[in-house]
Structure 1
Amino acid sequence: MSDIETPADELKREEEAAATADHTANEDVTEQAEPATDESAEQPELPEGANLLQMLIEAQKEAQANEEGWQRARAEFSNYKKRIERERAELFQRAALDTLQALLPVIDDFDRAFESVPETLADDPWIDGVAMIQRKFANVLERYQVEAIDPTGAPFDPNLHQAIGAEASDDVESGCVIETLQKGYRAGDTVLRLALVKVAS
């Protein structure tokens, strides 16, 4: 009697078989899904040595850029200092030349004054005092390498002389200075004033 399967037993057996099949199917799905989940979660990573090498390369590039910028700034500052020093020297020289040019009319007055001194006053102490002042002016000019330009008898040079007249001469060759009407002056290569001259035609 116990071996006879009743409809209730058959129904129970079918339910157990269905439950077993569902459990097995769920396990298979889970096993298949888990590897996919693990693969999607993994991110590619560079080896540690490669990361350090990349960081070193970037640091070297940055250091090189900083060094080039520093060298460029240093060169610009050096050029700026040189330019300022040059401009300062040129300004000082220009101011000195302007001062010397302003003194030239005073020297001219001294020269004219001594040319017109009467012989009776030649030995007067007052004249000696004025002559001393004139020598002091001459010493100042000499200190700044100022030289007089007195070209009488020399060939005319438009860079140093200004012709204000021409006339025939038996004593001076044509194109040469007959007479210096006013001396010129120069400081080194810089002409402070052209000499006013007459030229032989």
Structure 2
Amino acid sequence: MEKKESQRQTAEAEEKDPKTAGEPSPQTQEQGGQAEKIESETPKPGEELQKKLEETSRELEKQKDLLLRTAAEYDNFRKRTAREKASLYSEATAAAVLEILTVADSLERALEQPDCTAEDMRKGVELVQRQMKSALEKLGVEEMGAQGDPFDPELHNAISHVEDGESGDNTVVKVFQKGYKIGDRVIRHAMVQVAN
């Protein structure tokens, strides 16, 4: 409807002024300029797709970079953890060996004695045994498996059963070999004889 109105106005203007016939009226020129502006401002469908593609490509590159960085950080973490684990193992071993070296030194000194009586030898062995117990205590190692203890399959290894009226059922009657543990972890089960 607006088009018809503007065409009518243009026709009337041509009738009034024959010189301007064929020339667009100022109003028509203004409308044409606005149409050109609107056409230039509205993006073409191909341009929109191109912009979205570029944005998606940039986002993909960011995610790819983040993934590569994360993978590199994880690899470094894994290598560092392996080095620390190896270091901790060697440090723990060194600490254990250091505690036991005093026992080894005492045994060497005992063997260096040229003449000693059986009584002296016994005293030396008792001294070495006390040093060994002390070293194990410093390392957090506890003895387990004493006579009279209730039998526990988690801690004891029953190598024989015996009928014993004096001891209660499932009681350790004799210890053949002591067991050792660190905290809740059993290092060696105690070898015992159990009463039925």
- The TM-score normalised by the length of structure 1 is 0.49
Q: 1:55 to 1:198 in 2, by over 3 A?
A: closer
Q: 1:127 to 1:54 in 2, by over 3 A?
A: same
Whole-angstrom distance in 2 between the partners of 1:198 and 1:53: 81
Whole-angstrom distance in 1 between the partners of 2:159 and 2:53: 83
State the match for 2:80 in structure 1: 81
Structure 1 gaps of 5+ residues are 1-47, 111-120
Secondary structure of the equivalent of 1:70?
helix
The one-letter code sitting in structure 1 at the alignment partner of 2:156 is H
Structure 2 gaps of 5+ residues are 1-46, 108-117
State the match for 1:62 in structure 2: 61
Residue by residue over 1:135-178, the C-alpha shift from the partner in whole angstroms, topping out at 9 and shown as x without a partner, is: 22122211221111133112211222122222222221111111
Query: Does residue 72 of the first structure (1) align with residue 71 of the second (2)?
Result: yes
Map 1:158-173 onto structure 2 (within 5 A): 158-173=153-168
Residue by residue over 1:58-80, the C-alpha shift from the partner in whole angstroms, topping out at 9 and shown as x without a partner, is: 44542332123112321233234
State the match for 1:42 in structure 2: none
Whole-angstrom distance in 1 between the partners of 2:56 and 2:192: 77
Given candidates 159, 182, 189, the residue that maps to 1:187 is: 182
Q: 1:166 to 1:60 in 2, by over 3 A?
A: closer
Query: Does residue 147 of the first structure (1) align with residue 145 of the second (2)?
Result: no
Whole-angstrom distance in 2 between the partners of 1:137 and 1:172: 32
Q: 1:134 to 1:151 in 2, by over 3 A?
A: closer
State the match for 1:156 in structure 2: 151
Deviates more, 1:178-187 or 1:59-68: 59-68
Structure with max Cα Rg: 1
The one-letter code sitting in structure 2 at the alignment partner of 1:72 is A
The one-letter code sitting in structure 1 at the alignment partner of 2:62 is A
Secondary structure of the equivalent of 1:173?
coil
Whole-angstrom distance in 1 between the partners of 2:70 and 2:89: 28
Query: Does residue 134 of the first structure (1) align with residue 129 of the second (2)?
Result: yes
The one-letter code sitting in structure 2 at the alignment partner of 1:150 is G
Given candidates 161, 174, 197, the residue that maps to 2:192 is: 197
RMSD over equivalenced CA pairs, Å: 4.0
* Structure 1 residue 55, shift from structure 2 partner: 5.7
Whole-angstrom distance in 2 between the partners of 1:57 and 1:196: 70
The one-letter code sitting in structure 1 at the alignment partner of 2:174 is E
How many residue pairs end up in the alignment?
134
Residue by residue over 1:75-119, the C-alpha shift from the partner in whole angstroms, topping out at 9 and shown as x without a partner, is: 2332343355346646876xx5xx88xx8xx9xxx9xxxxxxxxx
